[in-house]
């Protein structure tokens, strides 16, 4: 979905201020003596400057000086797709509608951020019996709490507590050290990196000093990302099972059993804590970063 705004090519200026400054080597443009009406305030009967009353323009100084801020924003998205290899039987691959909302409140040194994501894929309403239960559970709908954290800022210090997404590394497309947040890999390669990071319950402490940044992060719960069903279209498991000397009838197996991943370790314990540290310096012509995990 794309939205565009168009404004006619008129330039507006306050009374007494020319909207164009003429170049000495340029002929006739902005020359009050040679041009009739344009730029001449005395003889301009159709000047746009006369239609704008700048006395009605006010600056909300109270809002700019207040100590708190409150915002609620979001967006809707529509994502559609077609399966080329099954155009005859069921061509609908995706008709996903999603909604993202973000609430933010800050007061002096304190901030609260809450963000959520909800989606539903209408493609699974068509020929529903052709999908396995694992496919429906993985792709039909998703309600996810994204950012949910408290932030405290004191001079050069910043402390963030809660569920958060932390970009680790400098890569725009693929960063091998961006390992704090796991990924939504249900549709690998078909989504932007910023959309597939899974939030992690963590504590982040940062210190800033003269272009340098020191940051220490602890992730409290292990998370293994969101994966396609074991026998789904994007899963590597069917190809691995069929690559050996023994061939499995995957359709027959899946019709009798449901398959899920089991992750170990899981839950909260001192042994499951994950620790990360990074140092960054950005100066004149020199950027340095050291990451430890």
**Is 244's pLDDT higher than 60?**
yes
Q: How confident is residue 47, by pLDDT bands cut at 50, 70 and 90?
A: low
**Is 33's pLDDT higher than 90?**
no
**Integer Cα distance of 96 and 91 in angstroms:** 15
Strands 274-283 and 212-219, how do they pair? antiparallel
Q: Higher pLDDT residue, 173 or 187?
A: 187
For residues 111 and 104, the answer to whether their CB atoms sit within 8 Å is yes
Q: Please give the average per-residue pLDDT across 133-151, as a whole number.
A: 94
Average predicted confidence (pLDDT) for the chain: 81
Strand residue runs (E) in 165-273: 200-209, 212-219
Residue 36: per-residue pLDDT:
47
Question: In the 8-state DSSP scheme, what is residue 197?
Answer: B
Distances (CA, A) of 143 to 119, 161, 247: 7, 22, 37
> pLDDT per residue over 11-27, tens digit each?
434 444 444 444 444 44
Q: How confident is residue 267, by pLDDT bands cut at 50, 70 and 90?
A: confident
Q: Which two tokens stand for residue 26?
A: 């340029």
Q: Which of 35-49, 140-154, 243-257 has the least mean pLDDT?
A: 35-49
pLDDT > 70: percent of the chain: 77
**Is 41's pLDDT higher than 70?**
no
**Integer Cα distance of 125 and 127 in angstroms:** 6
Distances (CA, A) of 54 to 14, 19, 37, 41, 188: 7, 15, 22, 16, 54
**Integer Cα distance of 170 and 191 in angstroms:** 19
**Integer Cα distance of 273 and 267 in angstroms:** 10
User: What is the reported pTM?
Assistant: 0.70
Sequence-ordered alpha helix ranges (H) in 110-232 = 133-139, 193-196
Q: Higher pLDDT residue, 55 or 280?
A: 280
For residues 290 and 278, the answer to whether their CB atoms sit within 8 Å is yes
Q: Which residue reads 């507006």 in tokens? A: 12
Q: Higher pLDDT residue, 254 or 155?
A: 155
Q: Please give the average per-residue pLDDT across 181-206, as a whole number.
A: 90
Residue 214: per-residue pLDDT:
96
**Is 105's pLDDT higher than 70?**
yes
**Is 157's pLDDT higher than 60?**
yes
Residue 190: per-residue pLDDT:
84
Residue 231: per-residue pLDDT:
87
Residue 64: per-residue pLDDT:
63
What DSSP string describes 264-281? SS-S--GGG-EEEEEEEE
CA angle at residue 194 from 191 to 199, to 5 degrees? 110
**Integer Cα distance of 16 and 19 in angstroms:** 10
Residue 67: per-residue pLDDT:
85
**Integer Cα distance of 278 and 216 in angstroms:** 7
Q: What is the total residue count of the chain? A: 293
Cis peptide bond N-terminal to 265, omega within 30? yes
> pLDDT per residue over 62-102, tens digit each?
666 778 999 999 999 999 999 898 888 889 999 999 999 99
**Integer Cα distance of 209 and 12 in angstroms:** 44
Closest to 193 (Cα-Cα) out of 169, 216, 213, 214: 169
């Amino acid at each position: 979905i794309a939205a565009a705004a168009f404004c006619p090519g008129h330039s507006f200026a306050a009374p007494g201020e020319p909207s164009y400054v003429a170049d000495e080597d340029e002929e006739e443009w902005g020359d009050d003596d040679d041009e009739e009406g344009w730029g001449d305030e005395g003889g301009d009967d159709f000047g746009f400057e006369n239609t704008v009353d700048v006395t009605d323009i006010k600056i909300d100084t109270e809002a700019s000086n207040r100590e708190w801020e409150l915002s609620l924003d979001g967006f809707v998205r529509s994502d559609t797709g077609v399966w080329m290899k099954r155009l005859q039987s069921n061509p609908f691959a995706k008709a996903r509608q999603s909604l993202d909302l973000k609430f933010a409140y800050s007061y002096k040194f304190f901030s609260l951020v809450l963000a959520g994501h909800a989606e539903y894929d209408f493609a699974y309403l068509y020929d529903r019996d052709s999908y396995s239960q694992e496919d429906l559970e993985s792709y039909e709908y998703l309600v996810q709490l994204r950012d949910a954290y408290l932030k405290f800022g004191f001079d050069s210090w910043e402390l963030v507590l809660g569920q958060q997404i932390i970009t680790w590394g400098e890569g725009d497309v693929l960063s091998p050290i961006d390992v704090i947040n796991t990924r939504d890999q249900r549709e690998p390669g078909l989504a932007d990196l910023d959309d597939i990071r899974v939030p992690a319950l963590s504590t982040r402490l940062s210190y800033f000093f003269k272009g340098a940044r020191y940051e220490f992060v602890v992730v409290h719960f292990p998370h293994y990302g969101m994966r396609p069903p074991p026998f789904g279209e994007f899963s590597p498991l069917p190809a691995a099972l069929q690559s050996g000397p023994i061939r499995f009838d995957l359709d027959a197996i899946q019709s009798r059993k449901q398959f899920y991943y089991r992750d170990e370790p899981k839950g909260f314990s001192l042994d499951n804590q994950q620790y990360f540290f990074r140092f960054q310096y950005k100066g004149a012509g020199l950027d340095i970063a050291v990451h430890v995990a």
